[in-house]
Amino acid sequence: MKKLHYIFLIFSILIACKGVEEEQGKKENEFKIIQNEKSKRLDSLYTELHKYGEFNGNVLVAEGGNTIFQKSYGLANEETKEKLNVESVFELASVSKQFTAMGIVQLQKAGKLSYDDKVSIYIPELKNYVGITIKNLLTHTGGLPNYMSITEKNWDKSIFATNDGIIQLFEKLQPEKEFKPNEKWDYSNTGYLVLATIIERVSGKSFEEYLKQEIFEPLKMNNTFTYRRRFKPMKVNNYAQGYIYSDSLKRKILPDENGKDFFYVYLDGIVGDGMVSSNLQDLLKWDRALYKNKIINDEDRNIIFSSYKITDTTETNYGFGWFVKKDSTYGKRVYHSGGWAGYITYIERNIDNDKTVIILQNNKTGKIKIPSKDTRKIVYGSPIEKTFRLPEKILKSYIGVYIDENGEEDELIFDNHSLWVSSGSSRLSLNPISKTKFALKGFSPQVTYEFILDNKGKVQKIRIQQIKTGVDITKQRKK
């Protein structure tokens, strides 16, 4: 009897422990997952995109803070074949800007700076850039030139660029402003680099320390941090490696394979315009916190998520680190995308209807998409347009070299379920419009490639048009 009693006691303890573990798990996973018909439609959308090489990453969709869809598609590491999971961490690229903006908002609330302060008060090295305010930097209306183009010509690429290094370069070269403050809106990575340095100088902390102590830790965003993987390497578990496509090697590579003088590599020491890493769950925590008064109040929300107006009252459709859009179908939406060093990211908050979309990708190739429009339609129960696709047999019949009367050549190749135009060291994907007509991805006004067939259905020529600019070229297929 004693033995049986002992066994029963052990069994009871195990059951009790299991109950405690389950309860702890419930507390850790504070967001409910509610699947519905929208979940199935979203999975169908992303499964097809992944199949055709147009999506590789993680996606989360929530309504009222409850997750209705969360899934991973593809690999985190091409070498080891490690798969992504919903907790994988990604570099956020320009989605990081909202955290830089929040740091400035917090310092303003603490009385340590004002949005209308001139930048030169905190960065005297930039005293020649007269009239630019902190608010101008937040809203991309300051006119500072692009640091990336300046470093391309003037930086020793054997050395990592840093915020202080870029500011010193501006002080030395004094490149001209692109426009007067408030004269126009122009997206500026330089502005957010400078904002990060203002955070450091005002707070007395590094940008990394400030975000960690003032934003990430208070919100329990335990998988979110500033990370410069080349400038300051450290071991990060469950990290999604960022891949770009190499036209010369005909495969996906890490940016590092292009060498130290590749801009993704030598600009790795800069923070503010990027370099925050996070995952789906942490970004949902961030989304929920922005509805509450834990780190900001209604007055802050009003200015952060309102479209800034330049002097002629023209709307910029940008607030503090967020694009802003309002329409009759979806109400007010704030969103931001990012693209850097193999990562393509996106977050959207439908403020009026409390719907959230988070998309994190770790492939940056000519085919990768941010399917935000179709995702939004599904979330609102609307139909989406089916992507027009052609059988591989037809696509392969178009491959070959095409030449015009001046000897200019285009090579059409087939790869990863798609047709591509390969010219020199670059290639661009062609999206089918009909059986014989394609649109060149990423061009506006639209560029079309139309195949001209003989009466037997064999390709003879290709006609390249950009109707709005008058471009109309015919190239003969080489035999």
DSSP string spanning 198-254? HHHHHHSS-HHHHHIIIIITTTT-TT-EE--TTTS----TTBPPPEEEETTTTEEE-
pLDDT higher than 80, residue 172: yes
Cα distances from 4 to residues 1, 16, 18, 47, in angstroms, run: 5, 18, 21, 53
Same domain? For 400 and 367 the reply is no
Same domain? For 333 and 408 the reply is no
Q: Amino acid identity, residue 330?
A: Y
**What pLDDT, on a 0 to 100 scale, did the predictor assign at position 11?**
38
- Residues in contact with 70: Cβ distance below 8 Å, sequence separation at least 6, in sequence order: 33, 58, 59, 60, 61, 86, 280
Same domain? For 326 and 425 the reply is no
**What pLDDT, on a 0 to 100 scale, did the predictor assign at position 9?**
38
**What pLDDT, on a 0 to 100 scale, did the predictor assign at position 247?**
83
Taking the C-alpha atoms of residue 363 and residue 201, their distance in angstroms, rounded to an integer, is: 35
Q: What percent of the chain has pLDDT over 70?
A: 93
Same domain? For 115 and 151 the reply is yes
pLDDT tier at 425, thresholds 50, 70, 90: low
Which among 344, 379, 414 is the end of a domain? 379
Whether 251 is in a domain gets the answer: yes
pLDDT higher than 50, residue 476: yes
Place of tokens 């492939």: 363
- Segments of 365-417 assigned E as strands: 400-403, 409-415
Same domain? For 202 and 158 the reply is yes
pLDDT higher than 50, residue 360: yes
**What pLDDT, on a 0 to 100 scale, did the predictor assign at position 15?**
39
**What pLDDT, on a 0 to 100 scale, did the predictor assign at position 442?**
82
**What pLDDT, on a 0 to 100 scale, did the predictor assign at position 471?**
94
Nearest to 360, CA basis, from 119, 143, 72: 72
Helix axes 189-203, 163-173, angle to 10 degrees: 110
Tell me, what DSSP letter sits at residue 176?
P
**What pLDDT, on a 0 to 100 scale, did the predictor assign at position 28?**
41
Taking the C-alpha atoms of residue 330 and residue 144, their distance in angstroms, rounded to an integer, is: 34
pLDDT higher than 60, residue 393: yes
**What pLDDT, on a 0 to 100 scale, did the predictor assign at position 19?**
46
Q: How many CB atoms lie within 10 A of CB 240?
A: 29
Taking the C-alpha atoms of residue 144 and residue 129, their distance in angstroms, rounded to an integer, is: 8
Average pLDDT, rounded, for the chain? 92
- pLDDT higher at 10 or 56: 56
**What pLDDT, on a 0 to 100 scale, did the predictor assign at position 479?**
81
Domain count, the chain: 2
pLDDT higher than 80, residue 450: yes
pLDDT higher than 90, residue 16: no
Whether 420 is in a domain gets the answer: yes
Task: Give the torsion through C-alpha atoms of 323, 328, 329, 330, to 10 deg.
Answer: 40
The mean pLDDT of 121-128, rounded to a whole number, is 98
94 included as an active-site residue = yes
What are the tens digits of pLDDT across the range 314-332? 999 999 999 999 999 999 9
**What pLDDT, on a 0 to 100 scale, did the predictor assign at position 323?**
98
376 CA to centre of own chain: 17
Cα distances from 338 to residues 174, 317, 343, 468, 473, in angstroms, run: 28, 17, 8, 29, 35
Structural domain including 433 reads 392-477
- pLDDT higher at 4 or 424: 424
pLDDT tier at 5, thresholds 50, 70, 90: very low
pTM of the model: 0.88
Whether 124 is in a domain gets the answer: yes
Same domain? For 400 and 287 the reply is no
Phi (first) and psi of residue 117, to 5 degrees: -65, 145
Q: Amino acid identity, residue 370?
A: I
Same domain? For 203 and 326 the reply is yes
**What pLDDT, on a 0 to 100 scale, did the predictor assign at position 464?**
96
Whether 111 is in a domain gets the answer: yes
In terms of C-beta density within 10 A (0-12 exposed, 13-18 middle, 19 or more buried), how is residue 74 classed? middle
- Residues in contact with 106: Cβ distance below 8 Å, sequence separation at least 6, in sequence order: 214, 215, 295
The mean pLDDT of 113-134, rounded to a whole number, is 98
In terms of C-beta density within 10 A (0-12 exposed, 13-18 middle, 19 or more buried), how is residue 316 classed? middle
Same domain? For 146 and 257 the reply is yes
Q: What percent of the chain has pLDDT over 90?
A: 85
Same domain? For 274 and 237 the reply is yes
Whether 32 is in a domain gets the answer: no
pLDDT tier at 22, thresholds 50, 70, 90: very low
Q: Using only C-alpha atoms, what is the Rg of the chain?
A: 26
Beta-bridge partners for 109: none
**What pLDDT, on a 0 to 100 scale, did the predictor assign at position 20?**
42
CATH of the domain at 123: 3.40.710.10
pLDDT higher than 90, residue 7: no
Beta-bridge partners for 62: 67, 356
pLDDT higher than 90, residue 427: no
CATH of the domain at 396: 2.40.128.50
Same domain? For 221 and 369 the reply is yes
Catalytic residue among 72, 94, 188, 307: 94
**What pLDDT, on a 0 to 100 scale, did the predictor assign at position 148?**
97
**What pLDDT, on a 0 to 100 scale, did the predictor assign at position 31?**
65
The mean pLDDT of 456-477, rounded to a whole number, is 94
- pLDDT higher at 17 or 36: 36
**What pLDDT, on a 0 to 100 scale, did the predictor assign at position 417?**
87
**What pLDDT, on a 0 to 100 scale, did the predictor assign at position 253?**
96
Tokens of 113: 């700076």
